[in-house]
Structure 1
Amino acid sequence: MSENDLPANWIRASLSDLGTWAGGGTPSKSEPSFWHGSIPWVSPKDMKTEFISDTEDHITPTAIEQSATRLIPAESVLVVTRSGILERTLPVATTKKPVTINQDLKALTPREGVRARYVALGLKAFEQRILKDCTKSGTTVANVEFASFLRFELPLAPTEEQDRIIAEVEKQFTRLDASVEALKRVQAQLKRYRASVLKAACEGRLVPTEAELARREKRDYEPADKLLARILKERRARWEADQLAKMKAAGKLPKDDKWKAKYVEPVAPETSGLPSLQSGWTWSTIDQLSSVVTKGSSPNWQGFDYCASGVLFVRSQNVGWGSLQLDERVFLPHAFNEKESRSVLADGDVLLNIVGASIGRVALATTELAGANINQAVALIRPVVPSLGAYVLRYLLSPLAQQYIHREKVDVARANFSLADVSEMPVPLPPLSEQQRIIFEAESRLSVGDAIELTLMSNETRATRLRQAVLKTAFEGSLVPQDPRDEPSSKLLESISAAVENKSLTKQGRVKQTTAVPKMKATR
């Protein structure tokens, strides 16, 4: 349907024509008595629902009298006009009771014959066009240019047809909402399933233990305590080789072995509060299993800026739950790696988010990330035995590790899990061959869940598109049948126009009885 192709009896009306628009304000926070009332006070944080009947904050009648806010009647339309969220979406809601609003919202109280819910649905139907045409860019916080917004035109149906459209949209949305809720229940079940698989894996209940198989097959096996002893020996040997290389590069070869005393033994696990393990397993720590436990640095602190190419810089948003999210990539000059060489990534490194809301997310570095670097919110764990990385990854994703992380983290301005906490984290270590079976079985089971998750995400996206399709059809006039008995919208607009003109004349003190046809834009 073309821009001007509307059903008979429909017109286009600017938002300014549809009713009375009002702004809001914030009563003084220095007067606590203002904030102990029963009148809902709406701010952008409350605009996460389609209908507003209550809010987080409430004010008193005195607060209204002594501030810029005002009482907005029920069946009004609220629109967020200043918020960072306007970069993505336009929050719109309909009031179910009288409310007040803050300065980041505007409210429309519709004129007689214009339904608030109809306008709210129309704003969502044309959401992306409004955001494109009516929002200001380049400001600190995204905001709607209100004059442009008021000029924006909505297709206006006759009042009776508005009611039919609202009823049909609500029916369709109810069905879609029920489907989405069902999808969310399945997603919650999948999350519990993943957690149960990883919990069983790290408790030795996912596959037969190596000790059990060895007894059954009447053979020997290497228990985890022997594996750990080998890892610790290799860990020290690597440190010594690294120190010798550094001394050789500096032209200062040692005369004796006293330098070896500088080796710092890794933190051993505190097992007094830990559960017992399966036969053949042992408790270890991240520190014992790793040759490197470190974190990255901020390029701003080091005097570097992002550039078009160079060193891939991995930030906390790139570390997902078990996988890397590299859709958004930034790069730093190669000189950054020279200055921050300790946090240069290698294939098989384990990356753990240790700061902020994403704390606990973990992923494994692939060959694609070799030579990349990380920021200060990401910890790098480099296992002594590379094959350990896959097991450590699954362990860090398990409920046991996640509970430890969130128990030990420090909540200050931002949640923080220190490198010392990372190093000291206890790890239940199975025999090496059992680790391999655990990883294979866990991946096999989790891949089924991943496939289901992709289907669910696809259906959720489809539901969102269907909602928009319902709105598009509604405002093209194709969702419900037209009734020739409906009063044309042009009559509605004429009454609106007359009311606007009479109000203007009253303000000028020139009210006169007139039968002149109002001069108002009304296009088909």
Structure 2
Amino acid sequence: MDKMQPIVNAMELPTSWAVVKLGDFVNSEKGKKPLIESNTETSTHSLPYIDIQAFEEGVIKSWTDGVGCRLCFDTDFLMVWDGSRSGLVGKGVNGALGSTLVRINFPSMVNDYAFYFLQSKYQQINTRAKGSGTPHVDPDLLWNYQFPIPPVNEQHRIVAKIEALFSELDKGIESFKTAREQLKIYRQALLKHAFSGKLTEQWRAENAGKLESAETLLQRIQTEREQRYHQQLKDWEVSGKSGSKPKAPKTLPPLTTEELAELPELPECWATIKIDEILSLDKKPMTTGPFGTALKKNEHRSTGIPVLGIENIGNGVFLRGNKIFVSEEKGKELESFSVEANDIVISRSGTVGEICKVPDSFGKAYISTNLIRVSLNQRVINPDLFVYLFQSGSFVKEQVKNLCKGSSREFLNQTILSSLIFPLPGLDEQNQIVSEIDSRISMVEQLDQTITTALQQAEALRQSILKKAFSGQLVPQDPNDEPASVLLERIRAEQAVSDKPKTRKTKHA
């Protein structure tokens, strides 16, 4: 088939349209890395280097003198050729074309029309990228697309209609995103309200005289620790003093004036504590996941007993699904890293401080090296309250951030956990706080899901607009328009007399 020979009956299109192979008359050129770059604009380095951030956000990070560069212009549009976002297109910018980008231009056509056509193909181009290392656009896929061409006047009308519809759509999307951000702000405000005592202020007034005082709560915690020690000591003596002698509980020092100053004013019946006072008395209460040789990669299995990781922690909720499993035999070696229902797991690297409670319905499991397991004394603290406490930015997360300062990366450990200060109401009020938060968070999550659905529908509508645009259904045809076949004949004639061959430098090496 000759170049730009119309493809007959390829699509059901208006009679004034034509269909050609996309690559038949495109001008395209891949960028090059400049020989010399400057972090600042100077008289000798005044040409902006256009990378993805430059054409998406208008952020220029370096300038060049233009030597050895390939240029791009605001009359072009640009495509990401290499990397995870290959196939993404954006409007052109004047400058030196980045090495991972391609500039694209369709002479004698409305370039924005072709831009929106390729925007409609992004998902397919991206998912069908080539390359085992860094993925790149498959030129055989890209340049062999059937490209529907309407008359030039209709191209202008289509672009104008797309941009008008997209403008309205983008306003709606921005409103939904703003609403989502407001939900995040509300969630944090709710937690702050809860842990300053304001959320249950009326509840306390209605239950005045029935509530456990802060002094009584702390004394009860200390008494329970001592009783547990005496029982363990008695059991040890009965067993013939087999094994290590139980250690007497340490008397926990009161918080310092400086530590108390970090907390807001709390209700009189609330206590301020550190984590050691609320840990389980029945087993080792805090454990960091196995390091290095304790769990080697060749011991991972596709089935067996699950090993929990950061991927199991959502926004305060447990997410099911595991990447790593171990055999029962290996599990015996990892017994000290086991978790059970109502245990707390906290991420100690990556996004530090993400937290959730292991649900009742989850069976045997172990923690990975990136997690810390915390077992709480449920006779003095509700595990769900602890999760909410940890999510409260004005309390725990801010402390974690400050305690991690000075290191090259945030990394949570048991020492930092033991340094954190918590406000603690009595157990009855804890349960009331959890109930109040749960009911409000449930509404927040429902609204968030509504927003997610709306955003998905907006994206589907965007694709529907593009589909109609390139099938002749978005704007009416005008019988007075010059047919696309005449346009193609004119382009063929122009190329026949042109001494300059068509540019195409985008075949991947």
Q: How does 1:40-439 map to 2 (within 5 A)?
A: 40-46=48-54, 48=56, 54-60=58-64, 62=65, 64-65=66-67, 67=68, 69-86=69-86, 90-95=87-92, 97-112=93-108, 114-133=109-128, 135-137=129-131, 139-208=132-201, 212-215=205-208, 219-235=209-225, 253=242, 259-261=245-247, 269-270=255-256, 271-275=259-263, 276-291=265-280, 292-297=285-290, 302-305=295-298, 306-326=300-320, 329-356=323-350, 358-385=351-378, 388-399=382-393, 400-410=395-405, 414-439=409-434
Count of aligned pairs between the two proteins: 482
Contact 1:297 1:374 in 2 (8 A): yes
TM-score, length of structure 1 as denominator length: 0.82
More displaced 10-residue stretch of structure 1: 450-459 or 372-381? 372-381
Distance 1:4 1:246 in 2: 85
Kindly tell me: are residues 160 and 59 of structure 1, through their superposed partners in 2, closer, same or farther at Cα, counting changes over 3 Å? same
Note if contact 2:217-2:271 (Cα within 8 Å) is conserved in structure 1: no
Read off the aligned partner of 1:174 and give its amino acid letter.
S
Distance in 1 (alpha carbons) for counterparts of 2:149 and 2:407: 52
Alignment-derived partner of residue 23 in structure 2 = 16
How much does 1:194 deviate? 1.2
Q: CA separation in 1, counterparts of 2:85 and 2:230? A: 53
* Further displaced range: 35-44 or 189-198: 35-44
Q: Secondary structure at the match of 1:143?
A: coil
Equivalents in 1 of 2:321, 2:459: separation in Å? 22
Q: What SS does the corresponding residue of 2:85 show, helix, strand or coil?
A: helix
Preserved CA contact (<8 Å) 1:44 1:83:
no
- 1:5 maps to what in 2? 12
Q: CA deviation at 1:381?
A: 1.8
1:159-178 CA distance string (max 9 Å, x none): 21111111111111111111
Unaligned runs of 5+ in 1: 509-524
| Deviation readout 1:312-347 (Å, 9 max, x if unpaired) | 222213212121233565433334433332331111
Q: Displacement, 1:120? A: 1.7
> Does the aligned pair in 2 maintain the 1:158–1:486 contact within 8 Å?
yes
- Give the one of 10, 25, 32 matched to 1:25: 32
Check whether the contact 2:236–2:246 (CA below 8 A) recurs between aligned residues. Answer: no
Using the TM superposition, give the Cα deviation of residue 396 of structure 1 relative to its aligned residue in structure 2, in angstroms: 0.9
Deviations 1:402-431 (A, max 9, x none): 222223234755432332112211110001
- The offset of 1:500, in angstroms, is 4.3
Which stretch has the larger CA shift, 299-308 or 141-150?
299-308
Give the CA deviation at 1:286: 2.0
AA aligned opposite 1:495: R
Q: In 2, Cα distance between the equivalents of 1:164 and 1:247?
A: 92
Deviations 1:131-168 (A, max 9, x none): 345x115x122211234422333222222111111111
Quick one: distance in 1 between partners of 2:38 and 2:55?
24
Structure 1 stretch displaced more, 264-273 or 277-286: 264-273
Q: State whether residues 125 and 475 of structure 1, in contact with CA within 8 Å, keep that contact through their aligned partners in structure 2.
A: no
Q: What is the SS of the residue equivalent to 2:201?
A: coil
Q: Which moved more, 1:338-347 or 1:479-488?
A: 338-347
TM-aligned CA distance change 1:497 to 1:190, over 3 Å: same
TM-score for both structures, normalised by structure 2: 0.84
Change (3 A) 1:156 1:427: same
Q: Percent identity?
A: 23
Query: What CA distance in whole angstroms lies between the structure 2 residues aligned with 1:123 and 1:411?
Result: 47
Residue type matched to 1:278 in 2? P
Give yes or no for contact 2:274–2:420 (8 Å, CA) kept in 1.
yes
Alignment partners' CA distance in 1, 2:500 and 2:322: 58
For residues 132 and 278 of structure 1, do their structure 2 counterparts lie closer, same or farther at Cα, with a shift above 3 Å needed?
closer
One-letter identity of the residue aligned with 1:288 = E
Q: Do residues 480 (structure 1) and 483 (structure 2) align?
A: no
Contact 2:344–2:383 (Cα < 8 Å) also in 1: yes
1: distance between equivalents of 2:293 and 2:161? Answer: 54
Q: Describe the SS at the equivalent of 1:107.
A: strand
Which structure 2 segments of 5+ residues have no match?
Answer: 1-8, 503-509
Kept after mapping to 1: 8 A contact 2:349/2:411: yes
Deviation at 1:469?
Answer: 0.9
CA contact (8 A) 2:54 2:60 kept: yes
Alignment partner of 2:297: what SS?
Answer: coil
Other-structure match for 2:507: none
* Cα distance between partner residues in 2 of 1:3 and 1:375: 55
Please give the secondary structure, in 2, of the residue aligned with 1:369. coil
